[in-house]
Amino acid sequence: MTTAQIIFTAFTLAAFGFFAYTAMKIWGLFKLTKPLERMDKIGQRISTTILVAFGQQKMFKRPVAGLLHALVWWGFLVITVGTVEMIIDGIAGSERILGFLGPVYGVITASGELFAGIIILACIIFLVRRYMVKPKRFIAPEMKPSSKMDATLILFMILVLMASLLGLNMGYVLSQGAVGSYPLSHMLIDSAGLSGGDWHTFEAVNWWIHICLVLVFLNILPYSKHFHVIMAVPNVFFARLEPKAKLDNMASVTKEVKLMMDPETAFAPPAEGEAPPERFGIKTTDDITWKHLLDAYTCTECGRCTAVCPANNTGKKLSPRKLFIDLRAAATKGERVEGGKPLSAPDRITEEELWACTTCMACMEECPVNIDHVPLIIDMRRSFVMEDSKAPNELTMMFNNIENNGAPWQFSASDRMKWAEDLEVRMINRS
Amino acid sequence: MSETKTIKVPTMAEMAANGEQPEILFWVGCAGAFDDRYKKVTRAFTMILDHVGIKYAVLGTEESCTGDPAKRAGNEFLFQMQAIQNIEVLNAYQVKKIVTACPHCFNTLKNEYPDLGGHYEVIHHATFLQQLLDEGKIRIKEDNAYHKMPMTYHDSCYLGRGNGIFEAPRAVVGALHAEAREMKRCRTKGMCCGAGGAQMFKEEEAGTTRVNFERIEQALETGADVVATACPFCMTMLTDGLKEKEQEDKVEVADLAELIASATGLQP
Ligand code: SF4
Ligand code: SF4
């Protein structure tokens, strides 16, 4: 083993080791969440994942940004093949070990190069947009400076990653490398008027910059909103497949309602060994399911949801994006273990925000990674109403009306057919 | 030439007493039964049911709130009590098929009652009207009152995004030979009227404006004379919006059933 191999192997091990440490920490948080069945209809889940995650279907609702983003993502997938090769080469001391693939290798390297060029352009456009065009959805109270930093840092890292990829390819071509196909490198070499010779050092420097940055990038992801690069795939796979307007049935409530409606059992003491009644709805992060947490880790903070939210559009405090930013912050702190500060608090998701939602599902429709906002909002309302008996006065009145008259307004149930009285119709025969 | 007829709306109880089973149950809904404006829609839809000669019935006083607003406001207990009671009644009458003019009732009956033992074929009146038109059971002459009238359809969230029904209401508007105009935000991007999720029953939170004011402005921007709706809450919210903009004399908010009834020549 050469010194370079030893250094590289050690660095790679350290990088993957740290990634594993982060992953275990996050896995630990998932282990504390509530179960939820999401393994039905596998076929439909796979096709949704292909369309929405890999195909970026929902990103195209905004065609320009959508296309650019999709190209970056597809490029990332192609270039990852080369990254795997680089790691093998680095450890084994080989050079372009996938070269035996022949023409296939040519396709991989050539498309990787083209994507690198496209990604550089896309990142420049994204930076210009972020700092000069300043789209409205990037400016909001929940968008902390750290979030902006996060975006800028990642965009610059990607730029350097792509530049070094092209650099190492150019070095390889200039040193008469034999395998693969490098159209963009050739173009750059020609236009810069560079000529062959010993470009090995240039290639090596770029190689090291590229691969080290990849490993750093990998370790930044889980701590940033760019975790979506990894999490979006499972999140889309496990997304709800039912019509958006359907809310889940709370089985725990069904049990109690059936007991209440059955006089035989209504006053019977609970059966021996029966589990204590669950808490209804979501009060703290103790009550969330693994899918809520997955949603929170997947949110890209893109604000597509907030941009279409009718409550937000009309100046209400509600911002659907903020719900998942707050949830992630609360869950990551691991404070659940320390006794669970409510998820709804003045410095977090406020009651005012939660009651402002019209459940219009525009946020869910727009979200490119199929996050479910409305079920979370309803789950938190459930905690207010069923645990704390807390709801805006008018809603409490509405509940009373339904209980007493079977209608949300104060009308007598016996008047339900009044509309049908004296129903006369004239058929105007216009022919 | 015109003929007048009094419609006697049959209830399930009466039908059952006569040993009859209707083809379809018309679920009226609380707004359909109690809201003065929406009662007109209920009546218009009943005229259509009567006109096409389908065997239908309503539950009458045996109907109760589906529980939708309670569920959306977080009161799952109340929702399930309502649902279980309603399901008992529906199952006792062996109801198979339900039509309703309320997207909220539609969604609850169709998507949320099955988990509690209520399995029915549920269709919204927009789809039902489209079927009647397709089957030729309702015929609308080209020179009807809405011919070439600028008209815009406001998507109900629970019908559109919530259940993927975007085209049926547009097909109904299309059958009127009106000049259909789309708002900037329509179909999957349609903007809420502001009433869903139990907002209908409370004041909005503090903001810069109200959701329905914003939405009616978008409707008015199209220059439409009629804003077509397919939901009782949308109707209330947009009508209030029109009043706020002082346009209620120039622009009309009308339900699909009312438009079809009147274009067919059925008049109250
Ligand atoms: S469902 Fe609620 S949070 Fe989502 S866009 Fe509509 S009002 Fe906003
Ligand atoms: S919830 Fe979805 S749409 Fe909203 S910011 Fe997060 S990723 Fe974007």
Beta bridge partners of B228: B153, B254
The answer, yes or no, to whether residue A430 has pLDDT greater than 70, is no
pLDDT tens for B121-172 read 999 999 999 999 999 999 999 999 999 999 999 999 999 999 999 999 999 9
How far are the Cα atoms of A300, A311, B75, B160, B185 from residue A362, in angstroms, in the given order? 17, 11, 23, 10, 11
Residues B96, B93: Cα–Cα separation, whole Å: 9
**What are the CA-CA distances from residue B8 to residues A340, B11, B19 (Å)?**
60, 9, 18
**Among the bound ligands, the one closest to the CA of B198:** 1
| A275 or B258, higher pLDDT | B258
**Chain A residue with the nearest C-alpha to that of B82:** A406
Mean pLDDT for all residues in chain B? 97
Chain segment A196-212, per-residue pLDDT in tens: 778 999 999 999 999 99
Edge-to-edge strands, sheet with B252-255: B179-180, B150-153, B226-229, B252-255
Please give the ipTM for the structure prediction: 0.96
Can you name the CATH fold of B140-263?
Rossmann fold (3.40.50)
Q: Would you say residue A275 has pLDDT above 90?
A: no
Four-point Cα dihedral A256, A261, A264, A268, nearest 10: 30
Please tell me the predicted confidence (pLDDT) of residue A196: 77
CA of A305 to the centre of ligand 1 (A): 8
Task: Of A231-245, A249-263, A375-389, B101-115, give the lowest mean pLDDT range.
Answer: A249-263
A384 and A311 Cβ atoms separated by less than 8 Å: no
Measured in angstroms, how far is the CA atom of residue A361 from the centroid of ligand 1? Answer: 6
Strand order in the sheet with A423-428: B2-7, A423-428, B266-267
Does A265 score more than 70 pLDDT? no
Percent of chain A with pLDDT over 70: 94
Q: Output b/e per residue, B208-219; b: 16+ Cβ within 10 A.
A: eebbbbbbbebb
pLDDT value, residue A274: 58
Cα separation, A128 vs A70, in Å, equals 18
**In chain B, pLDDT over 70 holds for what percent of residues?**
99
Contact B127, B165 (CB under 8 A): yes
User: Is the confidence at residue A166, as pLDDT, over 60?
Assistant: yes
Dihedral, CA of residue A405, residue A411, residue A417 and residue A421, to nearest 10: 170
DSSP type of residue B116: G
Contacts of B165 (CB under 8 A, 6+ apart): B124, B126, B127, B159
Is the pLDDT at B181 greater than 70, yes or no? yes
String of b and e for A89-111 (b: at least 16 CB within 10 Å)?
Answer: bbeeeeebbbbebeeebeebbbb
Query: How far apart, in whole angstroms, are the C-alpha atoms of residue A18 and residue A23?
Result: 9
Q: Is B210 on the interface with A (CB under 8 A)?
A: yes
pLDDT digits (tens, 9 = 90+) for A341-394: 899 999 999 999 999 999 999 999 999 999 999 999 999 999 999 999 999 999
Mean pLDDT confidence for A389-411 = 96
Residues within 8 A of A (CB atoms), B 40-79 only? 42-43, 46-47, 50-51, 58, 60-61, 63-65, 67, 69-78
pLDDT value of position A259: 85
Q: How far is A309 from chain B (nearest CA, A)?
A: 8
Q: Which residues of A touch B77 (CB under 8 A)?
A: 253, 256-257, 386
The answer on pLDDT for A270 being more than 60 is no
Residues of A in contact with B186 (CB under 8 A): none
Interface of B with A in 77-116 (CB under 8 A): 77-78, 80-82, 84, 107, 111-112, 115-116
Using a 6 Å cutoff on CB, does residue A301 contact ligand 2? yes
Domain boundaries, chain B: 12-130, 140-263
Distance A389 CA to ligand 2 centre (A): 31
Q: Give the separation between CA A26 and CA A32, rounded to whole angstroms.
A: 10
CA A148 to ligand 2 center in whole angstroms: 15
DSSP structure string for A89-151: HHHHT-SSGGGGGTHHHHHHHHHHHHHHHHHHHHHHHHHHIIIII--GGG-STT--HHHHHHH
Mean model confidence pLDDT for chain A: 93
Q: How many CB pairs under 8 A join A and B?
A: 266
Taking an 8 Å cut-off on Cβ atoms, the answer to whether B7 and A244 are in contact is no
List Cβ neighbours of A104 (8 Å cut-off, separation of 6 or more).
Answer: none
Q: What distance in Å separates the CA atoms of residue A408 and residue B82, rounded to the nearest whole number?
A: 12
- Sheet of B97-100: strand order equals B56-57, B24-27, B97-100, B121-124
Look up the pTM and report it: 0.95
| pLDDT for the residue A152 | 94
Chain B closest-CA separation from residue A426 CA (Å): 4
Q: How deeply is A216 buried, as exposed, middle or buried, from its count of CB atoms within 10 A (0-12, 13-18, 19+)?
A: middle
Neighbours of A259 (CB within 10 A): 15
- CA distance linking residue A112 with residue A212, whole number of Å: 18
pLDDT in tens, A8-61: 999 999 999 999 999 999 999 999 999 999 999 999 999 999 999 999 999 999
Q: Which helix (H) or strand (E) holds B153?
A: strand B150-153
- Residue B88, pLDDT > 50, answer yes
**A304 CA: distance to closest CA in chain B (Å):** 12
Query: Of the bound ligands, which one is closest to the alpha carbon of residue A314?
Result: 1
pLDDT of A321 over the 70 cut: yes
| Model pLDDT, residue A1 | 81
User: Tell me, what's the pLDDT at A431?
Assistant: 43
Yes or no: say if A194 and A182 are a contact pair by the CB < 8 Å rule.
Answer: no
Given a cut of 70, whether residue B68 has pLDDT beyond it is yes
Check if the beta carbon of residue B46 is closer than 8 Å to that of residue B9.
yes
> Which backbone phi and psi does A252 adopt, to 5 degrees?
-65, -35
Contact present, A288 and A33 (Cβ < 8 Å): yes
Contact (CB<8Å) B111/A245: yes
The CA distance from A3 to A154, in Å, is 31
| Ligand 2 atom 2: residue of nearest CA | A367
pLDDT on residue A201: 94
What does the alpha-carbon distance between residue B77 and residue B39 come to, in Å, rounded to a whole number?
A: 29
Between A428 and A172, the more confident residue is A172
Say whether pLDDT at B114 is over 60.
yes
Q: How many CA atoms lie within 13 A of B66 on its CB side?
A: 25
Q: How many Cβ atoms are within 10 Å of B159's Cβ, its own excluded?
A: 27
pLDDT score, position A336: 60
Q: How far is the CA of A424 from the centre of ligand 2 (A)?
A: 52
Residues B77/A402, Cβ–Cβ less than 8 Å: no
Q: Which residues, including other chains, have CB under 8 Å from residue A2's CB and lie 6 or more apart?
A: A93
Q: Between B75, B192, B215, which is nearest A386 by CB?
A: B75
Let me know if B154 is exposed, middle or buried by CB neighbors in 10 A (0-12, 13-18, 19+).
buried
**For B45-54, what is each residue's pLDDT tens digit?**
999 999 999 9
Q: Is 3.90.1150.50 the CATH classification of the domain at B12-130? A: no
Which of A325, A360, A370, A377 for a ligand 1 pocket mutation test, highest count of atoms within 8 Å of Cβ?
A: A360
Q: Has residue A338 got a pLDDT over 70? A: no
Kindly report, residue by residue over A116-149, the tens digit of the pLDDT.
999 999 999 999 999 999 989 989 999 988 888 9
> B111: closest CA among B186, B164, B64?
B164
Atom of ligand 1 nearest to the CA of A359: 1
Closest residue by Cα to atom 4, ligand 1, is: A363
Distance in angstroms (rounded) separating the CA atoms of residues B65 and B67: 5
Equal fold, B12-130 vs B140-263: yes
